[in-house]
Amino acid sequence: MQSKSESPLRLAKAEPAPAERPSRLTADHVERNPGTALDLDIVRSLRVNRSAVERRAATIPTRRTVKKEWQAAWLLRAISLIDLTTLAGDDTAGNVRRLCAKAAHPVRADLLAALGMSDVPLTTGAVCVYHAMVSTAVEALRGTGIPVAAVSTGFPAGLSPLEERVREIRASVAAGAREIDIVITRGHVLTGNWQALYDEVRMFREACGDAHMKSILATGELATLGNVARASMIAMMAGSDFIKTSTGKEGTNATLPFSLVMVRMIREYHERTGYAVGYKPAGGIRSAKNALEYLYLMKDELGDRWLKPDLFRFGASGLLTDIERQLEHFVTGRYSAAHRHPMV
């Protein structure tokens, strides 16, 4: 791992590092991030060395590897971190119910038995749906403990009137969503209107109430890694519980360089405030191999504590199928067809 002096993210000014605040993070509890006042000096001083980021990101798949039973264990952990998602125009109540059933029983019972996991509760981290399907998902998941996450605020573009976006959040919370994935206005980032971005996200956080808020930055539309860093920091200052890469609808979604910048900002924010913020890469993560790369990144950059569902999620729809296929290969030595592991 690089030393801090070699970090691809740095403050522009040669200012002293802030004294680290006592962490409000324990092994079993994450104290919710209340946000801070907007500090434009911090935001404007952020710089990103793109070449260094890309070099570091390129090493992530090669610096660490896990095989055999260790790989199976990591993949079982990855399942618990998935926000199992359906965000299609042809979603129906039946599809959502079947997805919820899969979330509650993500791996076939015979595979769990072969892995010695029959007595270990295993579910996905959440089920993520449009607002119209929140009540259906809540009912289907009743008694499982699996939260429903609703995409909101005019997802995916986030360009509907502000009042409508706030009402949508409140409606999803009232319907039973315990997590809200909001989208920011990309134009605020592209024009450097940091105060407007902060005020918007702060308003969304207030509308969420007790529901946890994940702020989607749409990193593929922010033009530069510097903008990704600044948007990440402002979203956390405004009280985000998670920061998330993408809606999954952009041309470029989650990538390791975007992720490296965002998790470094999470580390910076934790050191400054003591509050731990979660991370959610989303969009295009479909293979078990790719999922492991993100787990390596989190372990290297933030440590084991960020490998639990309260601080890390995958936004994915097809990832679970490939993970289950890899687990079957570990058990039987053969790869099965994808249709043997149906999502819905």
**Closest C-alpha to 179, from 142, 246, 143, 134:** 134
The one catalytic residue among 83, 102, 214, 280? 280
Other Cβ atoms within 10 Å of 149 Cβ, number: 29
Q: Given 83, 181, 241, 322, which residue is catalytic?
A: 181
Cross-strand partners of 213: 180
CA-wise closest residue to 233 among 268, 202, 182: 268
Helix (H, G, I), strand (E, B) or coil at 27: coil
The enclosing H or E element of 83 equals strand 82-85
Identified catalytic residue from 83, 102, 214, 244: 244
CA distance 278 to 285: 18
- Annotated catalytic, 181? yes
Give the contacts of 330 (CB within 8 A, at least 6 positions apart): 68, 69, 71, 72, 115
How far apart are the C-alpha atoms of 160 and 250, rounded to whole Å?
18
One-letter amino acid of 179: E
In the chain, the largest separation of any two C-alpha atoms, in whole Å, equals 58
Residues with catalytic annotation? 181, 244, 280
